[in-house]
Amino acid sequence: MDKKKITLLIVIFLIFIIGIYFILPTPFPNKVTVVLTILDNQYLNTYCEQVVEKTLDEFTKNIPLEVEFKVLSTSILNKRNAIIKIKPGESEIVWNNRIRNIFNELLKDSVYTNITNQSINDLIMQTVHLISEIDNKNKNYIIFTGSFPDCYDKISTELLKSQITQKVKDININSQNKSTIIWSVLDTRANEEDILVTIKNTRLANVIDRRIIFEKSRDCIEEKRNNIYGIFFDKLSLEKAMDFIKKMHSQFGDNLKLTIWNDGALNNKVIYLSNNDILNKENLEIFNQLEVGQWTSIGFLLKQSANFFAQLDDSLSKNLVIIGNFPQESKGNQLDPKTWDLIKKIQNLTIYFYRSNFLKLNSTDKEFLFGLNYHKISYNEIR
């Protein structure tokens, strides 16, 4: 056989091998997309490892060559996504650990996002819409985790069920290549169970139940507690925190729901205070983890509170407690006339200044008090 024929046979053989490679499916999926829909994350850090353990294997068992994470949440600051690819020669164990670490980091949101029933419905519908538009060329997993609000009610449930059902009717789901929903919601109660059943019945996607069960399921205690909102310009030591809690109970009653507003990671963190747990170690440590306010914190926190209160019903009592000295003056005016006007128009708003023995008024404190008096906004002191 001459050299030309040998060369021709080799070329034909190589074309055959290359054709087989591209025609036959690869044993490993090229890419997996994982959408993390993080609901209320008040409890998520505690149960983060359980979520990872229960869900990781579902999208890594076939050893994908690339994993893309997309995060959906109500957090303003945490909008991180991530794309990771297997490295040449990387072992399955090392690759799997890299995926695990990124997954774990994305679940641990840098900001607490205690959300309303409406917010959670909007977030779930955003995810449903994403499922309808997601690229089905690769494997797609949608992980629902975090928890529904403690007081997620029947009205919100029925509304969301109706929205999901209608949305699925309006879209065309490819039955040959559906996405997979992994339900890893914390403490799935009766109303949340109804949502899960609706998702299954609509055949929106394949559903895998990997829920996280609480030893004791949560109760809705909202109606039994007085709501107070605290702007914290400073952290509180153990001694100061105990004094603060004692004064809050004296002013507002035994059972309180405190929403923390702070220019740091714990902004919007909600804690429950009962008169019989004034020495609750977890609550006391939270006050010591707050950030000390900067000059720009004044505008950020007061505008945040004003916008929040403006959305509430006028009939509701709005108790705002300001803790710590206002930051000392720097560049830029932090409160414009529109913000002052908005604060002035809020109905049933009572502003309190927590004045402990540790605190002396500074020049910025006095200027803010002057502003309240100028705009005829009443306030009280808690000593």
Can you give the pLDDT at residue 20? 47
The model's pLDDT over 255-302, given as tens digits with 9 standing for 90+, comes to 888 999 999 988 888 888 876 666 667 788 899 999 999 988 998 899
- Residue 292 CB partners (closer than 8 Å, separation 6+): 233, 234, 235
Q: State the sign of the Cα–Cα–Cα–Cα dihedral 250, 252, 254, 255.
A: negative
* In a shared domain, residues 268 and 161: no
Can you give the pLDDT at residue 223? 57
Kindly state whether residue 349 falls inside one of the protein's structural domains. Answer: yes
* In a shared domain, residues 61 and 135: yes
Kindly state whether residue 328 falls inside one of the protein's structural domains. Answer: yes
* In a shared domain, residues 178 and 300: no
| CATH code of residue 108 | 3.40.50
Determine the 3-state secondary structure of 94 from DSSP: helix
How far apart, in whole angstroms, are the C-alpha atoms of residue 45 and residue 108? 6
Kindly state whether residue 92 falls inside one of the protein's structural domains. Answer: yes
Kindly state whether residue 14 falls inside one of the protein's structural domains. Answer: no
The model's pLDDT over 177-230, given as tens digits with 9 standing for 90+, comes to 568 999 999 999 999 999 999 999 998 889 999 999 999 998 876 656 788 999
Kindly state whether residue 4 falls inside one of the protein's structural domains. Answer: no
Where is the domain boundary, 182, 209, 236? 209
Query: Residue 355 above 60 pLDDT?
Result: yes
Domain that holds residue 353: 222-382
How far apart, in whole angstroms, are the C-alpha atoms of residue 147 and residue 22? 44
Where is the domain boundary, 178, 209, 240? 209
- DSSP tag of 329: P
* In a shared domain, residues 81 and 226: no
Higher pLDDT, 164 or 80: 164
* In a shared domain, residues 130 and 180: yes
CA dihedral 257, 300, 38, 163 (to 10 degrees): 90
The number of domains in the chain is: 2
Can you give the pLDDT at residue 281? 76
Can you list the alpha helix ranges (DSSP code H) found in the chain?
3-23, 44-60, 92-107, 117-133, 154-170, 190-201, 238-252, 281-288, 295-311, 337-345, 363-374
Can you give the pLDDT at residue 358? 67
Which range is least confidently modeled, 76-80, 163-167, 186-190, 373-377?
76-80
* In a shared domain, residues 199 and 226: no
* In a shared domain, residues 250 and 374: yes
Bridge partners (DSSP) of residue 40 are: 147
Can you give the pLDDT at residue 132? 82
Tell me the mean pLDDT in the region 355-379: 84
* In a shared domain, residues 187 and 244: no
Query: Residue 115 above 60 pLDDT?
Result: yes
For 293, phi then psi, to 5°, come to -70, 145
* In a shared domain, residues 186 and 278: no
Kindly state whether residue 117 falls inside one of the protein's structural domains. Answer: yes
pTM listed for this prediction:
0.62
How far apart, in whole angstroms, are the C-alpha atoms of residue 299 and residue 332? 10
* In a shared domain, residues 237 and 202: no
How far apart, in whole angstroms, are the C-alpha atoms of residue 210 and residue 204? 17
Query: Residue 17 above 70 pLDDT?
Result: no
